[in-house]
Structure 1
């Protein structure tokens, strides 16, 4: 019997100067473990007149994880954080009861040709932390656990797996793992995983259960303990998952919560620009993203 529960194709979404590939949520699969939203940004070649400019926007009830493969993003938030995200580093922002942030091309790159490629991820919070105070953590690339098994390279970007732990301060049982192969290899890693697991093929090809899968495909396993697959030479995949929550989490735009009334209040607060609930972002106070019609609402 196949261990593959679902095969999803990356779905393009337009965010301005380039497209992102949306991996979650899909109608068929709203979450994998605590992961509720994943975007694949790029790879994009931006001209000297093209820049990333995501104006201040709010979040509640989740943690955001930004992980770049190429390029640079300057992050500012309502906590006063102001940091450049570079390839291999992790930005981990926990919204709790409410935070606002912006994401822009750094000033020194705004008049030059540039690249942008990475992953942006939302992780739902456990119910008891959904109304917690917001926090921010930046982890440099050099702090992320990496190891090698023969010609296969592993990187534990967040969470716990393989007896290792990332320094990213996650709030539930999860893992976000990068695996790269220099040569063709077969891996049987189910004993190192738990909960639900999905695999995203970024580069190369993966073979499992007699079928081949290429780039821009998301494979969701029925049982993480049966996670066995083969990677062709020069393949890169990401595994993410963990223990799912007992309660359902709802999504409206940038708001995630297990209580719809809290989401409704957040919508009203942002619509009215209630700066007690959603403070301004120091250094980026002139603009904001209006509340849109939501494409991911669950009624």
Structure 2
């Protein structure tokens, strides 16, 4: 019932570590999810730099930021300045192009504290790759939730378990946050054989779970076979992100750009290098330069 197991690769982003899960060399995407990072967990000392991602561009995708602990301040060139806190969703659709930054608020930085969350990129279907950019901040009440018998589940985006979240997704997908107490048993959304999504995966953000007769730990993604209907058992208290959807087709990813053609990637490179993409008005004193060729895999959490 398990197609592949992916271990997150730890990346130091200058005093802050992420666990990079997607893209993976032999499994680039899960449904439309083309990028997945676990941010932290980390404990910042008072006065530490914490999250300090300078303005940078995106095309051809939506970013989804979701936190378990801490907070991040978002600025973008549409004029949105928004703090995100645990249980909330920042859903930013780049479309034909957007520029944003993510920082730790100066007051929060002075106090220090915990940071733990997830950053996902969702590739847009071809007909939506060039739509106008947009930003949506969604509070906890915009996301269906369920709690019973040691299981807490929140539908962060898409449709699952007969419910629909408020994030304005562009293709069939689901993204679910589970909190499991030891011994709790549950199941992911249905697979292809039961009329559900054709691609699904589980990411263990904290603790340990059992899938079938195998145990998995923090930092591991379990990619399920399309028709598998496994039972998931929490070995310890566990935080799990469950994600999946329908494929949108092959995509290229270069730095922060996602597109269905190399020509579009090249145009985005030229636009950023030439300064044709405006910086956020509230954060326009610096930016991340275009990487020198050949580009690395994405190195920023957003």
The TM-score bracket by the shorter chain reads over 0.9
Shift in alpha-carbon separation, 1:183–1:100, aligned structure 2, 3 A: same
Tell me, what secondary structure is at the counterpart of 2:111? coil
Tell me, what secondary structure is at the counterpart of 1:191? coil
In 2: Cα distance, 1:224 partner to 1:106 partner: 45
Alignment of 1:177-256 (within 5 A): 177-191=176-190, 193-223=196-226, 225-245=228-248, 247-256=249-258
Alignment partner, residue 297 of structure 2: 296
In 1: Cα distance, 2:152 partner to 2:86 partner: 17
Tell me, what secondary structure is at the counterpart of 1:142? helix
Equivalences, count? 291
How far off is 1:85 after superposition?
0.8
Alignment partner, residue 60 of structure 2: 61
How far off is 1:18 after superposition?
1.2
Alignment of 1:1-299 (within 5 A): 3-51=1-49, 52-191=51-190, 193-223=196-226, 225-245=228-248, 247-274=249-276, 278-293=277-292, 294-296=295-297
Shift in alpha-carbon separation, 1:79–1:223, aligned structure 2, 3 A: same
Q: Which runs of 5+ in 1 are unaligned?
A: none
Tell me, what secondary structure is at the counterpart of 2:178? strand
In 2: Cα distance, 1:183 partner to 1:94 partner: 37
How far off is 1:295 after superposition?
2.1
* Alignment check: 8 A CA contact 1:201 1:236 kept: yes
In 2: Cα distance, 1:114 partner to 1:168 partner: 28
In 1: Cα distance, 2:183 partner to 2:64 partner: 30
* Alignment check: 8 A CA contact 1:194 1:225 kept: no
In 2: Cα distance, 1:227 partner to 1:194 partner: 14
In 2: Cα distance, 1:188 partner to 1:100 partner: 38
CA RMSD of aligned residues (A): 1.5
TM-score (norm 1): 0.93
CA-to-partner distance for each residue in 1:52-78, whole Å, 9 max, x for gaps? 211100000000000011111110000
How far off is 1:131 after superposition?
0.6
